[in-house]
Structure 1
Amino acid sequence: MAFLLLRRVLGLLLTLVLVSLSIFLLMNVLPGDPAAIMLGTTARPDTLAALRAEMGLDAPIILRFGRWIGGVLVGDLGRSTTYGVPVAGLIAERLVVTLPLAALAVLFSIAISIPLGTVAAARKGRWPDMVATLFAQGSVALPNFWIGLLLILLFSSALGWLPSGGFPGWQAGIGPALAALLLPALALALPQAGILTRVTRTAVLDVLNEDFVRTARAKGLTRSAALCRHALPNALVPVATILGLQFTYLIAGSVLVENVFGLPGLGRLAFQAFSQRDLVVMQSVVLFLAGLVIVVNALVDLAYLVLDPRLRARGAA
């Protein structure tokens, strides 16, 4: 077991190193000079050269990568060329919006999809199954930003229950802050809930056909008890895989929803940095998101060991 964990950690570190190198190289071959963008097209060559030297853009690319990765290791991600502030502070400010938003979206997705997928599997071919199938197909087909607009029209414009956009900050209180995140979280969650509903239904159906479930039924367990005690826990491994992917997608792919609701999140920061050619912010945000994907996938692998005893036995062997 310890050897298995050590191997996963070493693989995680190696992947992070390769990803950081790839991100740096890709960002530095993008067209456009950050110094020229900051000074404009009418800048004098000597002024442009001085700014490039100040930003370290005149150094060899290997030396620039070494400086950047060395700063990353000590928590120094550099300074934004657009805002003139440390990038680490920018990311931290946006994470207090994006992380709760993604967490709420995951909770909504779980609360909708797992009960719906389980009931659909237990009532295969009947009306609950048909309702779950229609929901899964419809929610996946609709873009989340369009769902967000519909939610604004219904809950903000028509009913006036929730704010239509903006974020008051956590200093305004947990209630107002959560109220501002409910609609965007639901807009993000519904398409993901459709995917997770289909995965849950398929996984539960596969487990219901296993011998141990039939044995549990033969011993006198009711259908619902066999479903909850034996089928659903054994169907959670593929569900955990999709949940891990969904969490990272919700953090990295929330650009449109954050713009629809006017949320100052990480996705919006990445979009602004790209449009402003802020190289330091771009590569730091992408590295953070890539590292988050790798770490979440590693946590999902560890969750497999908790959910499936067979994997623990295999690792011990």
Structure 2
Amino acid sequence: MLALLSRRALGLAATLLVVSILIFLVMNVLPGDPAAIMLGTSAQPETLAALRTQMGLDEPAVVRFGLWIGGSLTGDLGTSTTYGVPVAGLIAERLAVTLPLAAMAIALSMALAIPLGVLAAARQGRWPDALVTVFTQASVALPNFWIGLLLILVFAVTLGWLPAGGFPGWETGLLPALSALLLPAVALALPQAGILTRVTRTAVLDVLGEDFVRTARAKGLTRRAALWRHAVPNALVPVVTILGLQFTFLIAGSVLVENIFGLPGLGRLALQAFTQRDLIVMQSVVLLFAGLVIIVNFLVDLAYLVLDPRLRGRGAA
């Protein structure tokens, strides 16, 4: 199994290198001069040249790429041309918002989707199954930014239970910080919960039709016991697969949701850096997003090995 994990880790490292090259190429072929955008069209040529030198834009692309990758490996991501602060510290501050938000969204999605999916499979063709189907169709059809606006209208404006936006910071206490993240997490979780519910229902139904489940029932095991002891654990592999894919959609959805709720997270930083043509911040944030997705996929592979012992045997072979 160690050899299998080593091969996966090398593959992920190679993937990250290829992604970093693509990110650099895309960022550097975008139309427009970042220095001209920052200073405006009325800037003098001498001023533009000085700013380009300060930003390192007068260096060859290969040199700039090498400096960026070398700095990324040592934690030196450069200095933001917009904020005038180190990019590493800027990203670390925003990660303190985005990572808890993503973790809350995934936890809420799992807590809602897995029980509903199992319930729909256990009551196939009955009214609980119909209600779950309505929920999944509605949650998938509604975009997360519209759900966010609706949550603000109901729970912040009308009821006044939760804040409509902003983030007070973790230093103010755990409860105020989590209260500020709750509505954005729900807005991110509901569309993903609809997808995960349908996958869970299908996976459980497939396992319930297997021979080993029918054998367990024939030996006297109750339907409930067969469901939770045999069907649900064996149906978790496709569920874990979807969870890994959903992390990518959560990262993409955070760009809109964080701006709607005014959260100082990575999604909002990425949008601000894009509009201001802050190449250093844009490259670093996108690379971090890609790295997070690659790490989550690696964790999904580890979960496969835990959930399905047959994969460990194949890896050893």
Structure-2 residue corresponding to 1:38:
38
In 2, Cα distance between the equivalents of 1:260 and 1:49? 37
1:113-152 maps to which residues of 2 (within 5 A)?
A: 113-152=113-152
- Following the alignment from structure 2 to structure 1, what is the Cα–Cα distance between the partners of residues 202 and 52? 56
Give the residue type in structure 1 aligned to 2:60.
Answer: P
What displacement does 1:54 show?
1.8
Q: Give deviations 1:170-216, integer Å, cap 9, x for gaps.
A: 11100011011111111111000000000000110111111111111
Percent of aligned positions that are identical: 79
**Matched-pair contact (CA < 8 Å) for 1:144–1:188:** yes
Q: Secondary structure at the match of 2:65?
A: helix
Matched with 1:91 is 91
CA distance in 2, matches of 1:140, 1:63: 45
Q: In the alignment, is the contact (CA less than 8 A) between 1:99 and 1:251 conserved in 2? A: no
Instruction: Give unmatched runs, 5+ long, in structure 1.
Output: none
Structure 2 distance, partners of 1:55, 1:265, is 24
Report how far residue 247 of structure 1 moved. 2.1
1:166 corresponds to: 166
Deviation at 1:269, TM superposition (A): 0.5
Q: Residue type of the partner of 1:305?
A: L
TM-score, L = length of structure 2: 0.98
Show the counterpart of 1:296: 296
Matched, 1:306 2:285: no
TM (norm. structure 1) is 0.98
Instruction: Determine if the alignment matches structure 1 residue 7 to structure 2 residue 7.
Output: yes
Partner residue of 1:239? 239
Shift of 1:262: 1.0
- The whole-number CA distance in structure 1 between the counterparts of 2:141 and 2:7 is 40
On the 8 A contact 2:152/2:183 being kept in 1, the answer is yes
Q: Do 2:98 and 2:266's aligned partners in 1 also have CA atoms closer than 8 Å? A: yes
Quote how far apart the aligned CAs of 1:63 are: 0.8
Q: Distance in 2 between matches of 1:226 and 1:96?
A: 42
* 8 Å contact kept, 1:248–1:296: no
Segments of 4+ in structure 1 off by > 2 A?
none
In structure 1, what residue type is equivalent to 2:44?
A: R
- CA distance in 2 between counterparts of 1:46 and 1:101 reads 45
The Cα shift of 1:248 comes to 3.1
- The letter for the 2-side match of 1:72 is S
1:56 equivalent to 2:56? Answer yes
- Alpha-carbon shift at residue 253 of structure 1 (Å): 2.3
RMSD: 0.9
Distance 1:314 1:184 in 2: 41
CA distance in structure 2 between the partners assigned to 1:111 and 1:196 by the alignment? 11
**Which residue number in structure 2 is paired with residue 315 of structure 1?**
315
Aligned to 2:248: 248
**Counterpart code for 1:37:** I
**Offset, 1:43:** 1.4
Alignment length (residue pairs) = 317
CA distance in 1, matches of 2:150, 2:49: 50
Conserved? CA contact 2:144–2:253, under 8 Å: no
Distance 2:245 2:103 in 1: 13
Q: Which amino acid in structure 1 is aligned with residue 23 of structure 2?
A: I
